[in-house]
Structure 1
C-alpha cells in the first residue's frame, strides 16, 4: 500500500470513529450535552435495503476491485469506485435476503416481528468494508433526536459478515466495544476465537484451527509426515502457519520440510525462489494455505518450471476455484485434496433468484443498486433511470424481455451452496437469538434483577447474550450452535480434483471431517473415489525418513526436524514391537530379547543339573566315593580284630570313614536347581563333614605322637590325655565349633537362591549367594586351620621308628587336601555360574578321594592282598617282610 492510500485509510478511519463515537456517546451524555446526534458525513456505498421492525446488516463482496482517487489535501476526497462484478458475492447477499423473506413468512419464528435488511458491498477492500460496518451501526439519518427514555431500536441489531479475516478483525475490534454482533460466514482466522479481543464475534464457518486440524487428520490417515507449507502474506496465512507449527509434529502427524510465504504482488523472482524450494525438497505433499489469487500466481511459475509429481492439499480458500481447474493446470493440480466449506441445500433459493429483476420490485430501481449492476454485467443493459450519459454513451436500456432463467447464469446455480449456506445459517442464528430474546418472561430474564430486553428498546449487547445460547437445526439437518469462543460446531467436506479422460475436471466430495459434542473429531474418507495423479494410482509416499520397523527405535538426526531420524537397533534385553517406536522397552527379568529385538522370549535357565553330562559325571563320582567308603568300612568291620585295624585306632578310623562318606554325599547338594533349603544346607553340611573328617585325622596324629612319647622313659603319663574318651571329646568339640560357626552364619546372613543375569544377558544363572562372605571365609578358614595343624603334626611324626608309620600317610593326605583347597579358591572366584558349583564339588570330591586313598588305600592293600603283613610282628617291625 502506497503512502497516499495509507493516508486515505487513516483519515477515513479517524472520521468514522468520530462519527460512531458521536452517536453512541451522545446517548449516554444527553443530559449534559446536546439532545441529538449529528451525522458528520455519509458514504456512498453499493447496497440494497428492505425496511422492517428490526434491521439486520450484511457486508458482502459484490465487486472484485476498487480504485481510490488521488488525495489533493485541498478538498474532500472522492469516494472510491468499485468495478469487476462478483456474481457469487451477489448470490450470497441474495441468500441473506431470501433467508429474511423466509423467516418473515414463518409463523413460528418471530411471529410478530418483521425483519428488514441493509446490505453493503465491501469491494474486497478493508477501508470500504470498514465504512460499510460503521454506516450500518450509526445509520444514515442526518440527525437523531435522543429522548429521555431512549425509545427506539438501533439502526441494526446484528451484522452478517465479513467474508475476509482481515476485514473481520478490523470491524469486530470496533463493534466489540459496543457489543454489536458480527456473524461471519467466511472469516476463518483462528485469532478471531479470542473472546477477550472480539467479545461479540461469531461465525458459522469453522476456524482455521479446525481447518488445520482437518488437514493434519488427512496427513495422518495417509502417513504423510514430511510436508511443505505455502501461506499467503496476510492474517489468513500467518495464523494458519502458527497453528501448523504448534499442532504438527510426530504425535500430530509429521513435520514441515519448509514454510514459505507467497508474495502479495507480482514478484517473479520471489515466486521462482519458492517454486525452486518446492522442486528440490524431498516432501511430495504440499499444503497451500492461501487465497485464490496467490495460487494463480504460484501455478504460473510451477508450470514454467514444470514441477510435477506433487500432491497438493488445498485450503478452503481455493479448493473450489474454477479458474484453476483448467486442462492447462490439471497435469500439475490433478488429484488435489482440499478442505471445503460444508455444502448445503436451501430449498426455494433458486426460484427466489430467478425473480431478481429491477422492474419487478421498485426497491431495486435505484441506479446504483446491486441488482441493476448485475443486469448490466449479465445482459449489458440497465433499467431506468440509468446514470447520466448512459444512453448517450451507447448504453442499452433493458426492455424487460430478458428473463434470468433463460440463460446459463452463475447466479442461479445452487448446486454447490457453501458460503451461501453459511450466510443462511448466520441469518437464522440471529433470528433465533432475537426470537429467544423477545420470548423472555418478565422477572425471569438473564439480565440484572432478572429483567428482560425492553421490546421498545432492543440493545445489540442483549442479542450477544442470546447468540451464545442459540441452538437449532437447519432443514438440511445440520446443528447450529456456538461454543464459548463464538465458533460453530465445525464440519468440512473433503474434495478431490479428478482429471477426466476427456480433459475435463470434476471436483468431487470424497469424505468429511467434523467435530461433534460427544464423539470429538471424526474423519471419514471414501478412498475408492479418490483420484491420484500418479502412474501408480496410489497415494504418494512423503516422509523424511522411512518408518523404523519393530526391533528398532527412532534416533533424531542432530540439527534436523523431528521427522528426520535414523533407525537404531534395540540393545540386548530391550525390544520395540511397534513401527516408529521412540524408545525400546526392557524385557522382564526372566526374559531376553529375540534376535530380531521385536519380542521378549523366556531366558534359558542355567544351573548344575543332574541331567547334563557334567552333573551326571560329578554325581556318579560322588556316589562312587560313597560306595567305596561303604566298602572300606565293611572291610574294616570285617577285619576289625586284625592287628593293622586295631593298631590304627579302629574307632577313629570308623568315624573317619563315616565323615568321608558324608563328604561325598554333601557334594550332591550342590547339584540341581538351587532352593532355599539346599542353599542353607550345602555349605553347613560341607563344613561340618570336613571338620569332622579333619578332626579325626588331627586326633589320630596327636595319638601317634603321644604313643611315641610314651615309648620313651618317663613318657607314660602323656597317654592318659589321649584315651578313648578324650579322643571322642576332642573330635566332638572341634566339630561343635564348626557347627556354631554355621549356625551363626545361617542366622545372620543365610545363603539364598538367586537368579543371576550378570554373567549372561540371555541366560538366567541359578546360584546360591553365600549371604555373608565373612561367614563363608570363617568356615573355610577353620577347616584350613585344622588341616594345616594336622599336616604339621604329621610331618613332625613322619620319621617315628615304626614299620607302619601312619603319620607318613596323614602327611601325604593332608598335603593333597591342602593343595586341592588352595587351588580351589582362585578357581572358584573366577568360575561363573554353574561352573563355580562344579569347581566346589570337584574340590570336595578330590580332597575326599585324596584322604580316602592316602589313608585307607595302603591298609586295604595289606588286609586284602598282603595278609602276611597283617601281623603284630610285622607291624612292630620285627619281621623280615619287605
Structure 2
C-alpha cells in the first residue's frame, strides 16, 4: 500500500468534516463523499470515471427537507497526470469539474481538451522553466536527462529541454523508461548514465518509476552524480532511502501547516479501522496482525496494543505537508464553489437553500471565480485552471547522524518580476560533499 496516498485520502475526509462543522462555509449543508482507488492504473481510473459520471440513486429526505444528490458534483484527483487525462476526457462532456492535487502535466492547461479541469498544484510548464534557470544558475552546460515514459515525464521533459536550449544548455542523452519495462530496459538506461561524461542528471520522473532505476544504479554504482529532481520525487519518502541521490536538488511544493490534521489521522480506534476496508488493510499491513478472529493461517490477532505513534511510514509523517495541503485546498475550492451556488448573505446572515439540486455545471462555473485563503494559503485559478506557481528549492543534506533530510535552501515565485523569481538563501550540499552555494560543477 502507498501510505502517502492514504494520507492524501484522509486529508480529503478531514477537510470535508471541517466544512461540515463550519458555520461560515455551507452552513446547514452536509457534504458527502466517495473515495475510490484507481490503483495507479489507467483502465481502473477510466472505469471509476464512468461510475462517477453515471451517479447513484437520488434520494429525498423528507425529515430534513433536503435532497441527497445522486450525482457527483465534483471530483478531487487524480494523483497522476496520465490517469487524470483519461478521467478528464470522460467526465468533461458531463460538465463535471475535476480538481487535481498532483497532476502537473502542462497539457492539462489546454481548456479546449480539458474544459472542466482545475488543479491546486502548479503546471509543469512553470517547473520546467524554473529547472532550466536553476541549471543555468550553477553554470552547468553539459547534462544528462531521464524521464518517465508517461504523459507526466514526456511532456515535462519536452518543456524542460525547450527551456534548457534557450539557456544554452547541452544535453548528452535523454532516456525514457517506465516501471513496467523489462529489467533489460532499466539496465540499459542505467548503463547510459554510468558511461556518460555528464555529471548532472535531470530526472523528470514519477517516484514509482525512478526507484527501479535507482535500484539498478545502486547494484553497480558509478562516480557520484548530481541529481536534479522534479517535484514528483524530490520529496518522496520512498525515494529518499537511496543514498546515491545525496546532494540532490529540485523544486517542491511549499511546505504547509494544517492545524489539527496530525491529531486527526493519528486518532484511529479499532472501531474506525474496522469500518474501513482501506484502514483495515493499512492497520493489518503495518502491524502484521489480523483484526477480529484468528484466521486459518494462524496470523496474529491485533490485540489493541498497536501504537500508531511507533510507526515510521509516510502516513504518520506529517513533518513536511506539501501535496497533502494541495488535497486540502482542492476540497475547500469545491466547497467555496458550492457555497456560491446555494448560499447567500442576507442581513449579515448566511442562508443556504438545501432543497436546490446543484448541477455540476454550476460548480464548474463558480470554481472559475473562487478566491480565498485558508490557513494563510491563497487559492484561486487562472483562465487555464492553474494556480500561481510557487516552489521551494529542496536539497538532500545529511544531518549529524548521517541521515538524509530535505532542507529548503531557496524559493521560486513566478508571480515576481523577471530576475526576482529565483532566490537561494542557504548553502547547498552537493553530490561530492561540497557545500559552497553557487559552485559550478562541470
Do these two structures clear the TM 0.5 threshold for a shared fold by scoring above it? yes
Instruction: Tell me, yes or no, if structure 1 residue 346 matches structure 2 residue 245.
Output: no
What is the SS of the residue equivalent to 1:513?
strand
Contact 1:453 1:462 in 2 (8 A): no
**For residue 470 of structure 1, what is the aligned residue in structure 2?**
370
C-alpha deviation, 1:212, in angstroms: 0.8
Q: Distance in 1 between matches of 2:261 and 2:405?
A: 24
Q: Distance in 1 between matches of 2:310 and 2:433?
A: 43
Question: Which residue of the partner structure matches residue 424 of structure 1?
Answer: 328
Secondary structure in structure 1 of the residue aligned to 2:34: strand
- What is the correspondence of 1:314-463 to structure 2 with a 5 Å cutoff? 314-326=229-241, 329-330=242-243, 332-359=244-271, 361=272, 365-366=274-275, 369-384=277-292, 391-405=295-309, 407-408=311-312, 410-439=314-343, 456-463=356-363
- 5 Å matches for 1:259-270? 259-270=174-185
Asked if the contact 1:292/1:321 (under 8 Å) is kept, the reply is yes
TM-score (normalizing by structure 2): 0.88
Distance in 1, matches of 2:260 and 2:433, equals: 45
Secondary structure of the structure 1 residue equivalent to 2:14: helix
Corresponding residue for 1:532? 430
Query: Is the contact between residue 358 and residue 371 of structure 1 (CA under 8 Å) also seen in structure 2?
Result: no
Residues 357, 371 of structure 1: 8 Å contact kept: no
CA shift at 1:526, angstroms? 1.9
1:276 and 1:485, CA in 2 relative to 1: closer, same or farther beyond 3 A? same
Higher gyration radius (CA) = 1
CA distance in 2, matches of 1:499, 1:248: 29
Q: Secondary structure at the match of 1:119?
A: coil
Alignment match of 1:499 (pick from 395, 398, 414): 398
CA displacement 1:109-157 (0-9 Å, x = unmatched):
111211121111222222222223332332344x999xxxxx8734321
In 2, Cα distance between the equivalents of 1:355 and 1:501? 32
Does structure 1 residue 120 correspond to structure 2 residue 36? Answer: yes
CA distance in 2, matches of 1:124, 1:393: 30
Inter-partner Cα distance in structure 2 for 1:305 and 1:285: 18
- Structure 2 stretches of 5 or more lacking a match? 61-66, 347-351
* TM alignment of 1:350-749, pairs within 5 A: 350-359=262-271, 361=272, 365-366=274-275, 369-384=277-292, 391-405=295-309, 407-408=311-312, 410-439=314-343, 456-475=356-375, 477-500=376-399, 502-516=401-415, 522-528=421-427, 530-534=428-432, 537-538=435-436, 541=440
User: For 1:405 and 1:269, how far apart are their aligned partners in 2?
Assistant: 41
Residue 221 of structure 1 corresponds to which residue in structure 2? 137
Could you tell me how far 1:480 is from its partner in structure 2? 1.0
Q: Over aligned residue pairs, what C-alpha RMSD do you find?
A: 2.9
| 1:285-300 correspondence to structure 2 within 5 Å | 285-300=200-215
Residues of 2 paired with 1:401 and 1:275: CA distance?
45
Please state whether the residue corresponding to 2:25 is helix, strand or coil. Answer: coil
Q: In 2, distance between residues paired with 1:202 and 1:222?
A: 34
TM-superposed deviation, 1:182? 0.8
Q: Structure 1 residue 358: deviation in Å?
A: 4.2
Distance of 2:227 and 2:197 partners within structure 1:
14
Residue of structure 2 aligned with 1:176, choices 62, 68, 92? 92
1:306 aligns with 2:244: no
Say if 1:520 and 1:479 are closer, same or farther in 2 by CA, change over 3 A. farther
Aligned counterparts of 1:402 and 1:290: Cα–Cα separation in 2: 36
1:518 Cα deviation from its structure 2 partner: 7.2
Shift in Å, 1:418: 1.4
Q: 1:274 matched to which residue of 2? A: 189
Aligned to 1:39: none
**Which whole-Å deviations, capped at 9, do the CAs of 1:24-60 have from their partners, x for residues lacking one?**
xxxxxxxxxxxxxxxxxxxxxxxxxxxxxxxxxxxxx
Distance (whole Å) between structure 2 residues aligned to residue 110 and residue 207 of structure 1: 30
Q: Distance in 1 between matches of 2:210 and 2:173?
A: 17
Q: Kindly indicate whether the alpha-carbon contact (under 8 Å) linking 1:154 and 1:458 is maintained by their aligned counterparts in 2.
A: no
Which residue, 242, 262, 274 being the options, matches 2:158?
242
Partner of 2:2: 86
Deviations 1:543-570 (A, max 9, x none): 6xxxxxxxxxxxxxxxxxxxxxxxxxxx
Judged with a 3 Å threshold, the aligned counterparts in structure 2 of structure 1 residues 275 and 121 are, in CA distance, closer, same or farther, namely: closer
The structural deviation recorded for 1:195 is 0.3
Cα distance in 1, alignment partners of residues 353 and 17 from structure 2: 25
Query: Residue 63 of structure 2 corresponds to which residue in structure 1?
Result: none
Normalised by the length of structure 1, the TM-score is: 0.46
Name the residue aligned to 1:728. none
Report the counterpart of residue 732 of structure 1 in structure 2.
Answer: none
- What 5-or-longer segments of structure 1 have no aligned partner? 1-84, 146-150, 443-451, 544-882
CA distance in 1, matches of 2:341, 2:253: 30
SS in 2 for 1:469: coil
| Distance apart, 1:457 and its partner CA | 1.5
Partner of 1:755: none
Quote the offset at 1:488 in angstroms: 1.2
- The answer (yes or no) to whether the contact 1:320–1:507 under 8 Å persists in 2 is yes
How do 1:27-176 residues align onto structure 2 when only pairs under 5 Å count? Answer: 85-141=1-57, 153-176=69-92
2 CA distance for matches of 1:412 and 1:298? 27
Counterpart secondary structure, 1:220: helix
Distance change in 2, residues 1:393/1:370 (3 Å): same
Displacement of 1:491 in angstroms is 1.5
Q: CA deviation at 1:325?
A: 3.4
Query: In 2 relative to 1, CA 393–236 (structure 1 residues): closer, same or farther, beyond 3 Å?
Result: same
